[in-house]
Structure 1
Amino acid sequence: MDVSKRLVYTPLLQNPVSTSGSYFEGEPSTDYFIGVTSIKINGNVVPINTTLLNITKDGKGGTKISTVDPYTKLETSIYNAFTKAFVRSLSKVPRVKPVAPFKVCYNRTSLGSTRIGPGVPPIELVLGNKNATTYWTIWGVNSMVAVNNDVLCLGFVDGGVEFEPTTSIVIGAHQIEDNLLQFDIANKRLGFTSSLLFGQTTCANFNFTSKP
């Protein structure tokens, strides 16, 4: 199966200011930024301050992809609106005591399971603009974290108050696990597939060896 045919593309953006711990003045960021314009949960738009999703001239805001951060970090106001919307979408499911660093947790048996993870509403990162909108869908396998045998938690964390840290959304490793990502640097775009479990495969099954 050629999974690359499932790739959907969105532009890679340039942050004019480095987001690394140490850098020279005027040095642009080498991190990978994408243009998230809104977030949806179960098809409903999460009410957030969308100006935080723009990259300012001094390098603040925006959305970047990180394999260093284990879970996606959201600026505090975004995080609060996001978790509130997620809890509302599962209003009939009782919550359990949170397990740090997470604040929204459920009993595993209350959520059930599907071939793409726990039975929770899909989370959509809306990318681009009205003329070319794409959606990166995060299903239960990537949105929920098993903290023990009985409890599943929403795998997003509070990244701090506005512009502390600098980037408003940092997409972490758990959210991109078993999502095929293609960083097309030459064409300044990112290709992504959402969960490979839809195709009954994982990244561990890939053979990236070049053919002679």
Structure 2
Amino acid sequence: MDNRSRWNILVVEDEDPIRKLIKINLERDNFIVFEASSGEEALKKARATGIDVVILDIMLPGIDGLEVCQVLRKEFPGIGIIMLTAKSQDVDKIMGLEYGTDDYMIKPFNPLELLLRIKSLLRRMKISGGKEDTLVREPFSIDLYSQKLFKYDVEIELTPTEFSIIKIFIENPGKAFKRDEILNRIWGYEFIGDGKIVDVNIRRLRSKIEDRPAKPQFIETVWGIGYRWKA
């Protein structure tokens, strides 16, 4: 990511009033907004335009939001994705996160809260300091300039949220982090949602960096507290 003052947001929502409301509010805050009313249109615009964040509804005609999310995450690992859902069941939230979304919001929602979520996500996506600094915690290394993680010099593709979490761990080996502490550091104190978002992202991280995710060597569970990076 660069240090542009304006960011490209793709709003994927088949209900015109909701999509237009989101567009108006984001443009007031100086975002460049693209629109799509179907999954197929969303993928076409994402491929043709440099999109930074996608606001993605789950219930779409044709290809649904979960499948769109999966394709976007595969083709654009560094893109930010916030899922919109009219359902409140935990399974829907968790499914969205498992497919690679960074955050979610339940309809109906406050446009101001969505704006805060987008800004919080963009903070996680920005380059740290603009220097070619590297954090090393064998067998891992983190390139802070490109925001890339390597294991034995092989790149592991992470979402912006996953990168932010592992960066905190590698910077603080042996420190036990409470779930709320991780939530506040990554999503911000203004986050209003299910704390399970932390557990889902940890589980996703383990599946990418651990040789045996069921018996993690690096990200340990601290029972009754949260997680820590094994020193």
- The two structures share one fold, judged by TM-score above 0.5: no
Interval containing the TM-score (normalised by the shorter chain): under 0.3
Question: Is the helix fraction higher in 1 or 2?
Answer: 2
Q: Which TM-score applies when normalising by structure 1?
A: 0.27
Identify which of structures 1 and 2 has the higher relative contact order when contacts are C-alpha pairs closer than 8 Å and 6+ apart: 1
Q: Which TM-score applies when normalising by structure 2?
A: 0.26
